[in-house]
Amino acid sequence: MEQKYLIRTFGCQMNEHDSERIGGLLLSDGMSPTNDAADARVIVLNTCAIRENADNKLYGNLGHLKPLKDRRPDLKIVVAGCLAQKDQGLIQRKAPWVDVVIGTHALPNLLELLRRAEIEGPQMDVREYTETFPSALPAARADDVRAWVSVAVGCDNACTFCIVPLVRGPQRSRSIGEILAEVQDLASRGVTEVTLLGQNVNTYGRDLTVPGSARRPLFARLLREVDGVTGIRRIRFTSPHPHDFTSDVIDAMAGCEHVCEHIHFPLQSGSDRVLRAMRRSYRRERYLEWLARIRSAIPGVAVSTDIIVGFPGETERDFEDTLDVVGRATFDSAYTFQYSPRPGTRAATMEDQVPKDVVQERFDRLLTLQERVSLERNRAQVGRTFEVLVEGEGKRDGSTQARTRTNRIVHLAAPLQRGTFADVRVTAASAHHLTGEVVSVQEALVV
Ligand code: 5AD
Ligand code: SF4
């Protein structure tokens, strides 16, 4: 009987992409995917350490899997990802029924660890470094039109709230040649949109030694090269750090036909005092200046951001500074987070942790303001025509969900095939999506 695997992912895009790699490895071993835990021979929980509820979710899931494992000892349970890297021993202590704990650098060894677990019992591999870049592994991609491409892993910054440098290590970039080969291969399979992934994409290449440009970021060059790949019509990337955002990247964004007019530009806080405590090296006015430069160089660009509310020591005054920047920056959308202490980070041991009810109250105010701004920004699109890429079926029968280059979701009443490019006129707007009508269908790809 064919053996099945199930992967549950709790985390960011980087994790989603790692899950595609894990799926690729299991497929290459002759297994096939299932959504039903009862059918699965291998269950992988791919975890994220950035936000606290990921550990609650992990232990909740492991608790639910215990009776299944008791009934079927041949079931193999794998915990992968950042939490596995960080909480290695703890996972094995709290959930001794886990068969494999595999860190972010050890993915290439998954099949071997599964085989060893069969014979020797629980395995753990949380090495600090691997020679094999995760993207060198086969991938079971979730989407045949859009794809993630990992360009660098790890991060050289030390934002005091963030666990990433601890679990993913220093930045390591992939060579431009390897990235291009992957993008070309994707294009030859019909993928038209790629998202370049890195913790801090605009320092991409700083760790590579290229004759003549040692220790200089190569992200602008990478954008230009990917822009030249035939068949790729949309290029996105995430995330840049405002500190390293250089004008050559703005120029490349403006000059490359296929680089989308959207930038994710994490603010984190609008208070200079808090930014300093976070070890984010830009300040509010500089951030706003950069935003103005980006907007003047790239007409119509949409900007999204990340904001943390309730960082230790954040006062009402600091928070009002954040509201002020949010009001002035007019972000198209924002991911807002309540600060959560990650053990091992500098901020986790800072004094003046902000009480939960205060964080909640500030968070609600921020959300109300941003919803109003997002709605205004979306309403300004009504009556205009945009190119969209159809991503799939909508919620209602015969409807379609599509996306503009500026990363706005558009609901359409027409049933269009995934992968189709169409021009649509926007007829209505809400804070989180637009509604549109099809003006013309550019091309219907057979996918
Ligand atoms: N608490 C809350 N939010 C966090 N983020 C990262 N670490 C934390 C934390 N400890 C948010 C940041 C980052 C995004 C991916 O997650 O805003 O940009
Ligand atoms: Fe974390 Fe800061 Fe690196 Fe982003 S730049 S991954 S927030 S340390």
Which CATH number fits the domain that encloses residue 353?
A: 3.80.30.20
Same domain, 190 and 234: yes
Same domain, 361 and 300: yes
How many CB atoms within 10 Å of residue 35?
10
- Crossing angle of helices 82-94 and 53-71, in 10° steps, is 50
Number of domains in the chain: 3
Give the tens place of pLDDT for each residue, 59-90.
Answer: 999 999 999 999 999 999 999 988 887 777 78
Return the pLDDT at 443.
62
Last residue of a domain, one of 379, 401, 421: 379
pLDDT tens digit sequence for 274-309: 999 999 999 999 999 999 999 999 999 999 999 999
Cβ–Cβ < 8 Å for 20, 148: yes
Which CATH number do you get for residue 35?
3.40.50.12160
Same domain assignment for residues 201 and 243: yes
**Residue where a domain stops, chosen among 103, 125, 147:** 125
Ligand 1 atom closest to Cα of 161? 10
Do residues 414 and 372 share a domain? no
Check pLDDT > 80 for residue 232: yes
pLDDT digits (tens, 9 = 90+) for 257-283: 999 999 999 999 999 999 999 999 999
Q: Over range 373-392, report the average pLDDT.
A: 96
Distance CA 213, CA 229 (A): 23
**CA–centroid distance, residue 172 to ligand 2 (Å):** 14
Contact 428, 435 (CB under 8 A): yes
Report the pocket of ligand 1 as residue ranges, CB < 6 Å. 50-51, 161-162, 266, 268, 306, 308, 337, 339-340, 342
**Cα angle 118-119-125, degrees, rounded to a multiple of 5:** 70
121 and 138 both lie in a single domain: no
Sole residue written with tokens 């994490």: 266
**Ligand 1 nearest-atom number relative to CA 335:** 17
State which of 306, 314, 335 you would mutate to test the pocket of ligand 1, scoring each by most atoms of that ligand within 8 A of its C-beta.
306
Place of tokens 């894990």: 22
Q: Do 200 and 317 belong together in one domain?
A: yes
Cis peptide before 239 (omega within 30 of 0): yes
pTM score: 0.83
Residue 447 banded pLDDT, cuts 50, 70, 90: very low
- The DSSP annotation for 305-341 comes to EEEEE--TT--HHHHHHHHHHHHHHT-SEEEEEE---
Query: Rounded to the nearest whole angstrom, what is the distance from the C-alpha of residue 200 to the centroid of ligand 2?
Result: 7
Query: Are residue 355 and residue 424 in the same domain, yes or no?
Result: no
End-to-end CA distance of the chain: 30
Whole-number pLDDT of residue 1: 63
User: Does residue 246 carry a pLDDT above 90?
Assistant: no
Which is the closest atom of ligand 1 to the Cα of 306? Answer: 17
pLDDT > 70? residue 178: yes
**Residues 370, 389 within the same domain:** no
Output the residue whose Cα is nearest ligand 1's atom 18: 306
Rounded to whole angstroms, the Cα distance separating 143 from 13 reads: 13
Residues 72 and 219 in one domain: no
375 and 393 share one domain:
no
The whole-angstrom separation of Cα 51 and Cα 72 is 32
Range(s) of the domain holding residue 429: 385-444
Both 256 and 118 in one domain: the answer is: no
Looking at the CA of residue 338, tell me the nearest atom of ligand 1: 2
Tokens of 15: 């994790």
Residues 406 and 302 placed together within one structural domain of the fold: no
Could you tell me the distance, in angstroms and rounded to a whole number, from the CA of residue 241 to the centre of ligand 2? 8
